[in-house]
Chains A and B, each alone.
Chain A
Amino acid sequence: MAAKGKLTVALAGNPNSGKSTIFNNLTGARQHVGNYPGVTVEKKEGSVVYKDYEIVFVDLPGTYSLSAYSEEEIVARDFVVQEKPDLVVHIVDASNIERNLYLYTQLQELGVPVVLAMNMSDIAEKKGMNINYRELSRLFGKPVVPTVGSRNRGTQELLDTVIDLHEGKIKREKIGVDYGEEISAELDKLKKLLRERSGALEGYPLEWLAVKLLENDAWALGFIGGLPGGGEVLWQNEKSRGHLKRHFSDDPEVVIADRRYGFISGACTEAKSCSVEERHDLSDKIDKVVLNRFLGLPIFALVMYAIFKFTFTFSGPVVGWFEQFFEKAGEWASSVIPEGLANSFVVDGVIAGVGGVLGFFPLVLFMFFAIAFFEDSGYMARAAFVMDRIMHKFGLHGKSFLPLMISTNGCAVPGIMASRTLDNKKDRLITMMVTPFMICGAKLPIFALFIGAFFAPGQGANIMFLMYALSVAIALGSALVLKKAVFKGETSHFVMELPPYRVPTIQGLLLKMWERGWLYIKKAGTIILLISVIIWAGFTFPQMEPGEGASEEAAASAQMEQSFAGRIGKFVEPVVRPLGMDWRGGVALIAGVAAKEVVVSTMGTIYSLGEVDPEEAEPLKEALQNDPSWSPLRASAFLMFCLIYLPCFVAMSVFYRESGPSIKWTLFLIFWTTVMAWAASFLVYQGGRLLGIGG
């Protein structure tokens, strides 16, 4: 088959316009997920061979506009301007065309050929809207294709139209927004100045740049300001903006938005008619209950409980298989590799380390599936709405609840990654900073061990509950402090669309689950191998000869004391002594930075017990009880430290990448958590001693 060539087609559209469904229909499973360079915005690509063309579809982030307010918007417009796709398919929710077409008014200014896909045309029809697609096409000068993504209708027509437009079989006309005499005159002045510098504009369309300047777009101002002679353009822009402000007594960017909506509403009056009065639909009825002042929070709690129940019920057996697999792999490696350093390296270093993280993978997948279900159905936007009332009081955003929730009993790594849904950088940093305070699945064994060893069974559940309550209080309290002290300035505003409820498609859910799961594996997998090896080396070297007649366990214990890790533990002993710990506590805490459950297995090695399964630590419990250097008070101080201190290495590395990447914020996170953990632990231990609770 002779290929006629390769086409790059970008898919643009609002969030909730059914863009990913169309993308999945167009490309099937031939997808590739990555990141746009330098930012934490996901980039999805997929390809299809159609009519001898290889068409590569790039799914742009869902946005309402192409201003420079969020990374998504900048990524979307930079892709169109710099990568110069052959075409853009703009996916419009046909049942909500006015809001959706706002993005179109900006896309067409970028000068790229556009095909309009009127998605969910069936829902529009059901709502009693008659849209004359041919008329709409004539008014905009662009091809219009009605589609129904959820039933894979219109996909073929969309592909045909893309190729026809590319081959020039469809005529396209340039019909832009009429900004009115005053604005157009100022735009012309700017365009004239820009044209004189067109060599340096890097392919950005003049028309679009001029509009962006008048809109006071931060990026455009910076870009033009950096050009030779750019000062003159900015000076003219200030003059033009001042003039328009006086003329309209409103910001020019607001007047421009008004004109764009005017253009859309003009087209809609001609091409759209409503045969029935818009009535309250099912979504409204559900929202009356879900957003209710009294029922909102209980329903939210119920949904969260359902997500946890689903995740733990169904992932349990699969997690078991994974653990067995790594156990078997370890046994097999032990039998193949002769005893010695190489054996220890593979079994204790690589397999145990990687297995520790991958063991969580099924749990994470199931949780992603449950979350995708509530996202695609439309509930997550409501959850953010319900939670905003509480979160706002602590300087967080309604959407911040999701990272915190994923981290509780789950894992902070996908939690930190989920903070991407926050558009504001400050909100995102605060959320990422407090997410690791939640009690993740790996911290649980530490709590179980110490609470089991030092508190009566009846007390245990209360102490555990207290720990959960403390983790939430510390996370929210820290957020408040960070907001007041570090991230000062204008609070970001809570504005979001509540999309109509929809039944998610299985294909969409599975793809979403897999994409996010794969991202987790890539993030966690690459770093964990390295860290596992470093930690292993820290406990293994320098090697020492076991003493005469010493048992294997005693030798392991002595080896640990002599190892680098043991020496570090001794070194930090003066620091942890005021917290009621000796060097052994220090070593366990340091090892816990690799992964929190390692605290338990390290304790096992220290107490000469050999291998300790964090799930069944009965003998270790007894050893701790019998050790006079521990007491309930000391255990409480130790747990307090575990609750707050440094997130594990994987979480830190993901934090580093997701925060910018920013060394500054990562160091801040390390400092903040360590100081707070020490202070809280100090208060518990010394305060307890003052009150005479124990030594």
Chain B
Amino acid sequence: MKRLSDLAPGGRASVVFIQAGHHAHHRLAELGLLPGEKLVMFNNCGTGPVTVCVKGSKLSIGHGLAGKIIVREERDGC
């Protein structure tokens, strides 16, 4: 398991849980970032926001918030 902010570009993962506050947690859930959801990292520069492909569209998430999303990386794509 790792933080979403540590997932390398092109990496595939599924959401395990989210440690953010209630507000942010709910917001992410409404945008489709729910436990079990599969996503692909599109862009991650190490600093600044990251961009992930989730539910068929690109979502960019601030670095701090991405660090609160815990994902499980999937080794061999899907």
Q: CB within 8 A of B29: which of A257, A283, A398? A: A257
Known: A389-B49, A493-B62, A496-B59. A251 touches B32 (CB 8 A): no
Contact A398 B26 (CB under 8 A): no
A95-120 with Cβ < 8 A to chain B:
95-99, 102
Q: A257 — nearest CB in chain B belongs to which residue?
A: B29
In the complex, per-residue mask of B10-47: 1 if CB is within 8 Å of any chain A CB, else 0: 00000000001111111111111011000000110111
- A499 vs B57: C-alpha distance when bound (angstroms): 7
Q: Tell whether A495 is near chain B: CB-to-CB under 8 Å.
A: yes
Given the complex, which residues of A lie within 8 Å of B32, measured CB to CB?
Answer: 98-99, 102, 261
Known: A251-B26, A257-B29, A389-B48. A496 touches B34 (CB 8 A): no
Known: A99-B56, A293-B45. A498 touches B51 (CB 8 A): yes
Quick check: which of A62-70, A138-146, A188-196 contacts chain B, the rest being far away? A62-70
- A97 vs B56: C-alpha distance when bound (angstroms): 8
Q: Tell whether B61 is near chain A: CB-to-CB under 8 Å.
A: yes
Q: B61 — nearest CB in chain A belongs to which residue?
A: A495
Given the complex, which residues of B lie within 8 Å of A284, measured CB to CB?
Answer: 42
Given the complex, which residues of B lie within 8 Å of A498, measured CB to CB?
Answer: 51, 57-60
Minimum CB–CB distance for B8 against chain A, Å: 13
Known: A291-B43, A494-B65. A69 touches B23 (CB 8 A): yes
- A253 vs B56: C-alpha distance when bound (angstroms): 22
Minimum CB–CB distance for B26 against chain A, Å: 5
- A510 vs B43: C-alpha distance when bound (angstroms): 33
- A291 vs B9: C-alpha distance when bound (angstroms): 12
Minimum CB–CB distance for B50 against chain A, Å: 10
Q: How many contacts A-B (CB < 8 Å)?
A: 116
Q: Which size bracket describes the interface of B in this complex?
A: 20 to 34
- A388 vs B66: C-alpha distance when bound (angstroms): 14
Contact B22 A287 (CB under 8 A): no
Q: B29 — nearest CB in chain A belongs to which residue?
A: A257
Contact B61 A257 (CB under 8 A): no
Minimum CB–CB distance for B31 against chain A, Å: 6
- A216 vs B30: C-alpha distance when bound (angstroms): 14
Contact A495 B27 (CB under 8 A): yes
Given the complex, which residues of A lie within 8 Å of B20, measured CB to CB?
Answer: 493
Given the complex, which residues of A lie within 8 Å of B56, measured CB to CB?
Answer: 95-99
Contact A494 B26 (CB under 8 A): no
Q: Tell whether A258 is near chain B: CB-to-CB under 8 Å.
A: yes
Q: Which of B24, B56, B59 has the most CB of A within 10 A?
A: B56
Q: Which size bracket describes the interface of A in this complex?
A: 35 or more
- A254 vs B33: C-alpha distance when bound (angstroms): 10
Given the complex, which residues of B lie within 8 Å of A102, measured CB to CB?
Answer: 30, 32
- A67 vs B26: C-alpha distance when bound (angstroms): 10
Q: Tell whether A57 is near chain B: CB-to-CB under 8 Å.
A: no
A77-96 with Cβ < 8 A to chain B:
95-96
Q: Tell whether A392 is near chain B: CB-to-CB under 8 Å.
A: yes
Minimum CB–CB distance for A594 against chain B, Å: 40
Contact B55 A98 (CB under 8 A): yes
Contact B48 A287 (CB under 8 A): no
Minimum CB–CB distance for B66 against chain A, Å: 9
Known: A99-B56, A251-B25, A498-B60. A64 touches B30 (CB 8 A): yes
In the complex, per-residue mask of A580-608: 1 if CB is within 8 Å of any chain B CB, else 0: 00000000000000000000000000000
Contact B62 A494 (CB under 8 A): yes
- A500 vs B51: C-alpha distance when bound (angstroms): 13
Q: Which of B31, B35, B65 has the most CB of A within 10 A?
A: B31
Given the complex, which residues of B lie within 8 Å of A69, measured CB to CB?
Answer: 23, 27
Q: Tell whether A490 is near chain B: CB-to-CB under 8 Å.
A: yes
Minimum CB–CB distance for B54 against chain A, Å: 9
Given the complex, which residues of B lie within 8 Å of A293, measured CB to CB?
Answer: 45-46
Q: Tell whether A491 is near chain B: CB-to-CB under 8 Å.
A: yes
Known: A67-B30, A96-B57, A495-B31. A254 touches B25 (CB 8 A): yes
Q: B53 — nearest CB in chain A belongs to which residue?
A: A284
- With A102-B30, A254-B34, A495-B24 known, 16 other A-B pairs at CB within 8 A are A99-B32, A253-B26, A253-B29, A257-B26, A257-B30, A284-B42, A287-B43, A291-B43, A291-B51, A385-B48, A493-B20, A494-B49, A495-B65, A496-B59, A497-B59, A500-B57
Residue ranges of B at the interface with A (Cβ–Cβ < 8 Å):
20-32, 34-35, 42-43, 45-49, 51, 55-65
Pull 6 A–B residue pairs with CB atoms less than 8 Å apart, ordered by A.
A254-B25, A287-B43, A493-B61, A494-B49, A495-B65, A497-B58
